[in-house]
Amino acid sequence: MLTAAQLFGALLLLVIASDSFTNAVEWFASLRGLARNAAGAIVAAIGSSLPETMVAVVALVVLHDARSQAVGIGAVLGAPFMLATVVFSVVGGIAFFRHSIYEKTGGFLAVEPRNAIVGLALFLLTFAFVVGASFAPTPVVRIGASIAVIVAYFVYLRYHLHQRESGVEQHPPPLRFSPRAAKPRMWIVMVQMAIALAATIVASDWFVSSVSGVSAMAGIPPLVVSLFLSPVATELPEAMNVILWMRRKEDELAFGNVIGAMMFQTSIASAIAMLASPWRLDSHGYAACAAAFAAVLLVLIATLIRHRLSSIALFACGIFYAAYLVFAAISH
């Protein structure tokens, strides 16, 4: 009971901290007048990816033991896995319901096809480097793959920063530290960001220790536990933001945030994991990677064929998450 309570407390603190950080990042982007696509695909994506990255850093760099490394790798792989299956499916379901029932537009998202294709294709290329390195994880291969994925992320940044789009949403949700201010001061935003970052680091350390304890008590590999629990906890704030943006018909922000988070995790977080661990995956890790890769490939092919981002293709990505659940149940 004590271990379960500690795990729940760590998850709750992670959710609160990541929500506060994402909220501060949104206001930072708004006050700085950043472009809309940069806000969704870069700034908000980095903010929402911070908890998973902190879990990976604490587990792989600070704690560094075998169980903690498995938890860190699970956090790194679990983020794109959850985003490409569950969150894609949620986005597709909302878009299909909104467009087909209320707007009668055929269930397509209001997203620039070229932006979607570039993001999806670059993710698949980056993910291929990450997974490919695990088949021959020598130091040279891991270092080379780490450099390649970091370069890919900078290519992604350059692409979005050079897009010319309208400004970011002028009124994000109220700042948590100043809920009554119509336009909070920048220093308050920065204080909230710093405190949220510190809380995320503490929660990450707590979470890694709790997951290791739960996996040992249940006899389940820590990688499997982390693949499920870490993304569920850390993607909740991002999923809520995506749902909010989709309800506001801000499809570009919502989809860009998901792809941006996937790119950040598959480049920066994966580079840390490849450099700080032997980077050897088991069958569960490869199964999660296969599910994420297949889901993104499905959406990319559908977008190339239809020249629009299909809500049906996105919704179908949930099938790959269900398939992984079946595999995990059978293999365990």
User: What's the token pair of residue 250?
Assistant: 């801000």
Residue 290 or 61, more confident = 290
What does the pLDDT look like over 291-317, one tens digit per residue?
999 999 999 999 999 999 999 999 999
pLDDT greater than 90 at residue 124: yes
**Each residue of 190-213: b (16+ CB within 10 Å) or e?**
eebbebbbebbbbbbbbbbbbbbb
pLDDT tens-digit profile of 62-112? 776 777 777 778 878 888 998 999 999 999 998 888 876 665 556 788 888
pLDDT for residue 301: 97
Of 74-88, 190-204, 220-234, 255-269, the range with the lowest mean pLDDT is: 220-234
In words, the CATH class of domain 2-167+182-331 is mainly alpha
pLDDT at 28: 82
Residue 211's pLDDT is what? Answer: 66
Q: Does 167 score more than 50 pLDDT?
A: no
Q: Cβ(32)–Cβ(247) under 8 Å?
A: no
Residues forming beta bridges with residue 108, ordered by sequence position:
310
Whether 238 shows a pLDDT value over 70: the answer reads no
pLDDT of 225: 61
**Average pLDDT rounded to a whole number, residues 35-55:** 70
Residue 15 corresponds to which tokens in the numbers above? 């959710």
Name the phi and psi angles at 175, rounded to 5: -65, 130
Average pLDDT over every residue of 248-277? 88
The predicted pLDDT at position 282 comes to 86
Least confident of 192-206, 267-281, 307-321: 192-206
Q: What is the mean pLDDT of the chain?
A: 82
Q: What is the pTM of this model?
A: 0.78
| pLDDT above 60 (res 272) | yes
At 120, the pLDDT band (50, 70, 90 cuts) reads very high
Q: Which residue has the tokens 């891991």?
A: 142
**Mean pLDDT to the nearest integer, 28-35:** 75
Asked whether 74 and 58 are in contact (CB, 8 A), the reply is: no
